Amino acid sequence: MTRYQVAVVRYEKPMESVRRAVNLCDGLAGLKVGDRVFIKPNIVFWTASVPFPKWGVITTSRVVADMVTILAERGITDITIGEGMVLFDPKDTKTALQAFEGLGYNELGRRYGVKCIDVHQRPFEKVDLGDGVVLSFNKDFLESDFVVDIPVMKTHAQTKVSLGIKNLKGLINMSSRKKCHAADLERDLDFMVAKLANPMPRSFTIIDGIYTAERGPGFDGKMHRTNCLVACRDVLAADMVAAKVLGYEPADVPHLVHAARLRSRTMDLSDVEVVGDGIDQFAFPHQYTFPYNEDSTLPIQLERMGIKGLSYPKYDNTICTYCSSLTGLILTSIAMAWKGEPWGNVEVLTGKRMVPTPGKKTILLGKCLWDMHKNHPDIQNMIPIKTCPPSPKAIVRALNDVGIEVSSHIFDHMDMAPGYFMRKYENKPEFEESLFKVE
């Protein structure tokens, strides 16, 4: 039986800790001078308008810079950093450039010739992943000789954890991402995510747990300074060990179960040798789901406010990244609009499986639900938001139409919203902005 060495290392010093993780698992074995190396960090979101809690959301620049330096020491000169961020405007070419500059990647370009690419602006190629699943991947990734996968160690509201395999979702195009959030109960998000590593070239995964996130993947979760690096030449082994650090048995994470079946692998870590500092030093439970009331019709915080006359059913794994990113803003605007008087029997539906309730005023969030339910006989008062992704102006108009007088301010200044989440980390020295800079 093949044994997979997984390094679990305490992050203590720049260069030293990442180098130790690489060496313990022989992470760059087989890498040759002249190889084209593709680095995939996790930059789920960016705004240049305000500081925001990058900890546990974005891969630290510290780990990226250390990996680039180690590669350069080995004579690697063809290095590309690539990411496909969440962008609400398909024509947005500025945000990725701001992120690369803000995170110091351009400095790595000046020092080592590193190229930074926004995969949304690059060619894609269709790849048959088996079982009739065809997704389009970034060609730079597919044509590289070696991939360094550097995800953040975080939980995820839909897939329980987001680690090395899930990080590759940022390399597929928009239509492929939507396919991953299918309504099919069997071929669902976990089924699709499990296949994302199938076309990956030779690779090394180093999971950045300097900061870990509960209820990720975004900045509205809870961040922890955990100081843990998990590294392996096998992405599944790395993910299974990192899941344990986050408090989950690999067998309880559906996409890891699917991935193990694809590879005829065991889930009990019997084929894994943990080297370094061990899992138990770092492991503690990280919640992944946002709390809702008993019948899952309203977030618990809104119920505690006494909100009546509104049903906003709990998200499922069919809601795509773009609609789910808007949900936090919508719920915040609804909470701010509450004046103590019940609203008129309103429901807001999301994803691709929710069905309307007879007699309610039904808001359909996004084109998917509009296509499904535009002729549904049970909808007596339909307020559709037909665009994909949903237009912020249309969201405000729909809520106002049903008597929920939300302000457009929060939607007009979406790039400012993450700044509100900084407050709970202020004056806490363990949350360092310097780890997201290249000096």
Same domain, 182 and 51: yes
| DSSP structure class, residue 115 | E
Same domain, 175 and 233: yes
Report d(CA 268, CA 231) in Å as an integer. 18
CATH code assigned at 163:
3.40.50.11440
Same domain, 165 and 273: yes
The tokens 């070239």 sit on which residue? 201
Kindly state whether residue 58 falls inside one of the protein's structural domains.
yes
351 Cβ contact partners less than 8 Å away, ≥ 6 residues apart = 181, 183, 315, 316, 317, 318, 319, 323, 368, 369
- R_g of the chain, CA atoms, integer Å: 22
Count of all residues that appear for the chain in the document? 439
Report residue 248 as tokens: 């989950």
Same domain, 333 and 270: no
Kindly state whether residue 427 falls inside one of the protein's structural domains.
no
**Domain housing 309:** 300-419
Same domain, 198 and 225: yes
Same domain, 250 and 341: no
Of 288, 312, 337, which residue sits at a domain end?
A: 288
Of 288, 311, 336, which residue sits at a domain end?
A: 288
State the total domains in the chain.
2
Same domain, 259 and 405: no
3-state helix, strand, coil in the chain (%, to 5): 35, 20, 45
Same domain, 88 and 145: yes
Same domain, 164 and 113: yes
pTM more than 0.85: yes
Q: How does pLDDT run along the chain (439 residues), one tens digit per residue?
A: 789 999 999 999 999 999 999 999 999 999 999 999 999 999 999 999 999 999 999 999 999 999 999 999 999 999 999 999 998 887 899 999 999 999 999 999 999 999 999 999 999 999 999 999 999 999 999 999 999 999 999 999 999 999 999 999 999 999 999 999 999 999 999 999 999 999 999 999 999 999 999 999 999 999 999 999 999 999 999 999 999 999 999 999 999 999 999 999 999 999 999 999 999 999 999 999 999 999 999 999 999 999 999 999 999 999 998 899 899 899 999 999 999 999 999 999 999 999 999 999 999 999 999 999 999 998 989 999 998 889 999 999 999 999 999 999 989 988 898 998 999 999 999 999 999 999 8
Same domain, 274 and 362: no
Report d(CA 393, CA 395) in Å as an integer. 5
Of 267, 288, 309, which residue sits at a domain end?
A: 288
